[in-house]
Structure 1
Amino acid sequence: MYVQGFLIAVPQEKKEAYRALAEKAADKFREYGVTEIVETWEENVTDGKVTDFRMATKAEPGEKIVFSWMIWPDRETCEAAGPKMESDPFWAEMSEMPFDGKRMMWGGFAPIFTMGRND
């Protein structure tokens, strides 16, 4: 298992547009090998004194935090998807994103402990 995590701020009024985009993209990610996607919308995010989700994403008033992740079978499958995405016309058709992609952060992670998936 290999996990890609994402963190972004999305304007509250664009929640449905973001959800629809995530749903549309999910089918394409499945083609690339993703086995699971979880998209979550802020409900209880506290402000920190040193750092927090809002500071990390430079969230502006009226924006909500989206925390999501994709489960890949392994890192190799994830990395093989990169060139496919760059050449796939599907992504060029998605001209308008419901968030500021410059403030999006993501990374790949190797699990060191899981509970509930492979018990």
Structure 2
Amino acid sequence: MAYIDGFLIPIPKKNLAAYRRMARKAGKVWMEYGALQYIECVEDDVQSGKLTSFPQAVQLKKGEVVAFSYIVYRSRRHRDSVNRKVMADPRIEAMMPDKSKPPFDARRMMWGGFKSIVAM
């Protein structure tokens, strides 16, 4: 069964084009090192909840959108191997030359690794 890294990211609407460019470059690197899929999505039908929701999870602010992203691997071991290579690749570092101005607030980003339990 596949292993998935999942992400929720708050992105200012004004930075969405810059984020998309960065994500395309990053996706190429992940795929080059063996990721099975690299998917970036932006909210389309996302409601604020009373107890929990995607906007609440990232403390969404006015003028921002929620991005949901995931990367698929064969296994956790495969994920760890791919990520070691990706993080050592200078193209990843070069994507954010000015670290003081990233296209999103990484402090409110959520991520985690997930084992598949059902796949169809």
Query: Which SS does the other structure have where 1:113 is aligned?
Result: coil
Query: Which SS does the other structure have where 1:43 is aligned?
Result: coil
The number of residue pairs the alignment matches comes to 115
C-alpha displacement of 1:13: 1.5
Report the residue type matching 1:107 in the other structure: G
Which residue of structure 2 aligns with residue 28 of structure 1? 29
Question: Which deviates further from its counterpart, 48-57 or 78-87?
Answer: 78-87
Looking at structure 1, the residues matched to 61 and 81 of structure 2 have their Cα atoms a distance apart, in angstroms, of: 35
**What is the TM-score of this pair, normalised by structure 2?**
0.87
Looking at structure 1, the residues matched to 26 and 92 of structure 2 have their Cα atoms a distance apart, in angstroms, of: 9
Contiguous gaps of at least 5 residues in structure 1? none
C-alpha displacement of 1:14: 1.5
Looking at structure 1, the residues matched to 92 and 69 of structure 2 have their Cα atoms a distance apart, in angstroms, of: 19
C-alpha displacement of 1:41: 0.7
Instruction: Tell me how large the CA RMSD over aligned residues is.
Output: 1.4
Aligned-pair identity in percent equals 38
Which residue of structure 1 aligns with residue 74 of structure 2? 73
C-alpha displacement of 1:40: 0.8
C-alpha displacement of 1:5: 0.6
Report the residue type matching 2:83 in the other structure: G
Which residue of structure 2 aligns with residue 106 of structure 1? 111
Contiguous gaps of at least 5 residues in structure 2? none
**What is the TM-score of this pair, normalised by structure 1?**
0.88
